[in-house]
Amino acid sequence: MSRDRNSTAAKVVFLEIDCVLLTPIDWRAPGNLHACDVFDASGEESFGLARALRMVVLRHFRIRLLNELCSDTGAAVVLLSRWLPVVGSEVLSDLLTRNSVYDWYLHRDVACTVTDPESKRAAVEGWLSRHREVREWIVLDADAAELGFEDPVPVHPRLGFTITEQLDAVHRLRPRLPERYKSRHPDASAIVFLDIDGVLLPTACWSLKSAIDAWQRLRWCTDESERELIYTNDVQFSAVAIALMNQLCTRCRAQIVLVTSWRWHHSQEYIRRILSSHGVAEEHWHADYACVDTGGGKRADVDEWLSRHAEVTAWVVVDDQSGELGFADLGIDGEQGLTISSYRRACELLGAPVGADEHHAFLGFPR
């Protein structure tokens, strides 16, 4: 069912595509190699650039974040791209809608009049002068600060639009976060203590060709932003495990708390961004979503977290070494990660057992 574009929005997202929805790393993703060759050869000449943009595939998680931003705030998207004077608004609008940005989230007056990158601020002012109904607006552009926009949403040009920028944008366009960004159950009584390696990122995932290359790069990479890019774009987490984790939380009304050894080397925000980019639903995170590293190992870390949350009545540790650590053993094979059998066991421990013949429609599995 088609719907008309928005013409009455009181909130607007002025959107640059380059380095926001389409980063340099995205251009070189396997599905975009031909488009990248065309883009590099075009020198941003009109015909070549338009041809490349008609072939390029945007990262689905960025599109999901943009759609959610518009849905949760009632904002409409207006193009503020440096490519506008080269290819026009039709090519760029088509790029967005072809990659599943909902057409009704685009403003009817879909583009600012950009003559060159330096004119963006004047272009926004000109657009706003034609739309007095707009009360709140933000700019998503990696160069927004340099272009003179005050207090812009900071977008890293190599990372692009992530959950961090989305949350910041929601804060700015609405006085408070929408309910789905909050802990769904502030006093959640069911908790999933989550490991990553061997669970959502099983050993089998590292045998893929792209992952082998990513592993070599990770071994020598010390830049945190670059490592995050590699984990987000080049490392393939288990889609089945991610789907099962989301279903486990939904079925058992449980929330996620990190107990992964990644905590020892990375910030909890870094870990959450990576998992969110691979599909772990935002509404499943607990407000206090990471165990403190007590220095006594995972068992001590879980005990410390539970000591601060007396409301918890059921919990499970989803870890391929849970039995060895003294927790209930879910039978997770680190080679395969979270599977249906370990999912069933976790549901039992959280008080929501799965029937033997229950149809797992959420994964398309047979009875």
pLDDT tens digits along 9-18:
889 999 999 9
Greater model confidence, 246 or 46: 246
* In contact, 337 and 238? CB cutoff 8 Å: yes
Could you give the count of Cα atoms lying within 13 Å of 288 in the half-sphere of its Cβ? Answer: 14
How far apart, in Å, are the Cα atoms of 157 and each of 36, 87, 197, 228, 308? 17, 22, 28, 13, 39
End-to-end CA distance of the chain: 32
Contact (Cβ atoms closer than 8 angstroms) between residue 268 and residue 288 = no
Amino acid 43: pLDDT: 65
pLDDT at 237: 87
Model confidence at 117: pLDDT above 90 = no
Task: Give the integer Cα–Cα distance in Å for 294 and 257.
Answer: 15
Give the residue with greater pLDDT, 78 vs 30: 78
- 318: pLDDT strictly greater than 90: yes
At 125, is the pLDDT very low, low, confident or very high (cuts 50, 70, 90)? very high
**Residue range 329-344, pLDDT digits in tens:** 999 999 999 999 999 9
Burial class (CB within 10 angstroms; exposed 0-12, middle 13-18, buried 19+) of 314: middle
pLDDT band for position 176 (cuts 50, 70, 90): very low
pLDDT of residue 65: 87
Q: Using one digit for the tens of pLDDT, what is the confidence trace for 239-255?
A: 889 999 998 998 899 99
pLDDT-derived band at 270 (thresholds 50, 70, 90) equals confident
Q: Give me the pLDDT at residue 329, please.
A: 92
Q: What is the pLDDT of residue 358?
A: 53
Least confident of 98-107, 157-166, 192-201, 283-292: 157-166
What is the predicted pLDDT for the residue at 2? 46
pLDDT class for 346, splitting at 50, 70, 90? very high
87-101, 125-139, 141-155, 214-228: which range is least confident on average?
214-228
| Amino acid 187: pLDDT | 53
Distance between CA atoms of residues 245 and 253, nearest Å:
12
SS (H, E, C) the chain: CCCCCECCCCEEEEECCECCCECHHHHCCHHHHHHHHHHHHHCCCHHHHHHHHHHCCCCHHHHHHHHHHHHHHCCEEEECCCCHHHHHHHHHHHHHHHCCCCHHHEEEEEECCCCCHHHHHHHHHHHHHCCCCCCEEEEECCCCCCCCCCCCCCCCCCCCCCHHHHHHHHHHHCCCCCHHHCCCCCCCCEEEEECCECCCECHHHHHCHHHHHHHHHHHHCCCHHHHHHHHHHCCCCCHHHHHHHHHHHHHHCCEEEECCHHHHCCCHHHHHHHHHHCCCCHHHEEEEEECCCCCCCHHHHHHHHHHCCCCCCEEEEECCCCCCCCCCCCCCECCCECCHHHHHHHHHHCCCCCCCCCCCCCCCCCC
Q: How far apart are CA 118 and CA 250, in angstroms?
A: 47
Please indicate whether residue 208 or residue 243 has the higher confidence score (pLDDT): 243
Identify the pLDDT of residue 11.
92
> What confidence score (pLDDT) does residue 359 get?
44
> Who wins on pLDDT, 8 or 336?
336
Using the structure block, give the residue that is written with the tokens 């574009």.
5
- 75, pLDDT greater than 50: yes
Nearest to 159 by CA among 67, 30, 29, 62: 62
The residue type found at 107 is H
Percent of the chain with pLDDT over 70: 90
Mean pLDDT in residue range 189-211: 87
Q: How confident is the model at residue 158 (pLDDT cuts 50, 70, 90)?
A: confident
